[in-house]
Amino acid sequence: MKLADSNTTAAREKQMRDAEELLFTGAQKLGLAKGLFLGRFVADWVMPYPTIRPDEQRELDDALARLRSFLDQHLDPAAIDRQADIPRNVIDGLARLGVFGMTAPKEVGGSGMSQMAYCKVMEEIGSRCASTSIFVNVQHSIGMRALLLFGTEEQKRRWLPPLVSGEKLAAFALTEPEAGSDAANVQTTARPSADGAHFILNGEKRYITSGAIAQVLTVMARTPLGAPASGRPPAGGTSALPGETAVTAFLVTPDMPGFTVVEPRMEKLGIRGTATARLAFRDMPVPKENILGAPGKGLKVALTVLDFGRTTFGACCTGAAKTCLRLAVQHANTRRQFGKTLGEFELIKKKIARMAAGAYAMEAMTTVTASLIDRGLEDYMLETAMLKVFSTEALWMLVNESFQVHGGAAYFTDKPLERMLRDARINQIGEGANEVLTSFIALVGMRAPGEQFREMLEALQYPWGALRKVWLLGLDRVGAAVLAPEVPVRSPQVKPYAERLGEFVRRFNVEVDRALIKYREDILDRQYVQERFARAAMELFASACVLSRWDAELQADDSNSAADGVSSSPAELFIRGSFRRARRSLAEMHENDDTTTTAVADAVLKSGGSV
């Protein structure tokens, strides 16, 4: 029994260490999303609604006009899907337009474009072809971005110009047979060579977009901590235990001996134009100078880069969502059944309105999240995770609703919706499975209130020495539980919703505190609870972004206010529905089917699937 208890304790300690590495590396700042879990509304992260500078807007308009002209002439999404390949002339044309380096500094050949502006470029590509938008996202927002953020000056001079120009293609190799959503479980190894000049990589990667066609790959591999061949001490200066390893990022080229393409183009359901590869490294020597970022901090590289990729991913989903809405509206306005156009039937109206509200919210969330990057703010990983989960699920809803409006016609290949349906399914899996990100959102969000409770408990053990600290922490928690934060808006039409949002933030914080007191460390295993908090937090974040956008639009133009007092803005429809969904998530903290759900699942798993 003691041995079992010891093993359980050791496993929990390892789980805590892994969670710390994955969830809590880097600076911890109180932004909009984290503030919600403390009962605060960090207004300046979302209000006023961000806009692109006028001078950059003119440059963006010109860039979009050139891009649209090129895509109209040369991009054939149906042919890309049928042939399972993006033609070289399309790649070269996008390179000539500067698409692969738009946010890169001008010194390395880029355009120096803001993240907000670049999201508009990706929205345009995403509205037409998912394969092409994912290819560009890997090249620019993941592949090149790792070098921009973590490369040394020498690495940037050497590697960035050909990636920015499109002369060379990039890939990001993290996923393995044992390391998908569990990114910390990378098994590819990199051991120092005897002379200390190289690391010898051995392992396999799979599902790597552009893996077989890229000339520069960022590869994650497990290195011994404190390996002398790194040429640098372990990050943080901590001493390593014998045999301890950590993930390190390497810059790899396919001409390195031992680099093997096992499968250049894996057959798949959707995004068929992307070249998704399986790779192997067999005693492959990589110069120590090719380490990207700090040794042992490869997961930080990966997670930081994914923040950028998820933002442009949200833009791609927004573009596709607008296409789904446009196709549904065109069909509803022209298709007649039972003597009416489809758009005259209430159930079709409901679908169109729901789609419009979803697309509106996706664009608002993408714009706000991109602006956080442009402003140089730190620690927006929760916002990008929320955007990824929300936008991919919203797009799946929009594709299905548009499909249903079209009826049987959508099922056939002469319409784009069957391709869009296949393409959209991967979005909830790639760049972090939505289930994993849901737990991530909840656990990272609950860390700050959890730390406050821990500090209070520790201080209460020595009350005379820490009375002031206990008093201040107690006041903070009580204040958040009693007082709803202000959500500053300017338009009278929006103020009632702003007040309700503030009240929801207060109620959300109360439920978070209750759960932390009830479950304490066991909250790590309570995924039903995590999901409810993550869902509620996403709705509050989405509502804040929509409220900000709606308020700005009303200030600029009051045409959204109907004469009969009924708003025709999709913003109001979205906020009303979002509040209901948030309320439902919080109510399920107290009335749910968790015990029965677990019992049924355990029985079915044990029976091998019999019901």
Catalytic residue numbers, as ranges: 431
Tokens representing 548? 């900000």
Neighbours of 260 (CB within 10 A): 12
Could you tell me which of 322, 273, 290, 299 has the C-alpha nearest to residue 136?
273
Instruction: Please tell me what DSSP assigns to residue 233.
Output: P
> By the 8 A CB rule, do 313 and 431 touch?
yes
Residue with tokens 């969904």: 581
Strand 245-252 and strand 216-224: the pairing is antiparallel
Q: How far apart are CA 144 and CA 102, in angstroms?
A: 11
* 351: phi then psi, degrees, rounded to nearest 5: -65, -45
Neighbours of 596 (CB within 10 A): 9
Tokens representing 372? 């956080």
Q: How far apart are CA 491 and CA 554, in angstroms?
A: 7
Distances (CA, A) of 37 to 472, 497, 525: 18, 20, 19
Pseudo-torsion of CA 411, 417, 422, 424, nearest 10°? Answer: -150
> By the 8 A CB rule, do 229 and 265 touch?
no
Neighbours of 597 (CB within 10 A): 11
* DSSP labels, 379-429: --HHHHHHHHHHHHHHHHHHHHHHHHHHGGGGGSTTSTHHHHHHHHGGGGT
The distance of Cα 427 from the centroid of its chain, to the nearest Å, equals: 10
Q: How far apart are CA 37 and CA 509, in angstroms?
A: 5
Tokens representing 535? 């869902």
Alpha helices in 97-196 (DSSP H): 115-126, 130-137, 145-150, 153-165
Could you tell me which of 312, 360, 344, 335 has the C-alpha nearest to residue 569?
360
* 40: phi then psi, degrees, rounded to nearest 5: -115, 155
Tokens representing 525? 């295993």
Neighbours of 10 (CB within 10 A): 10
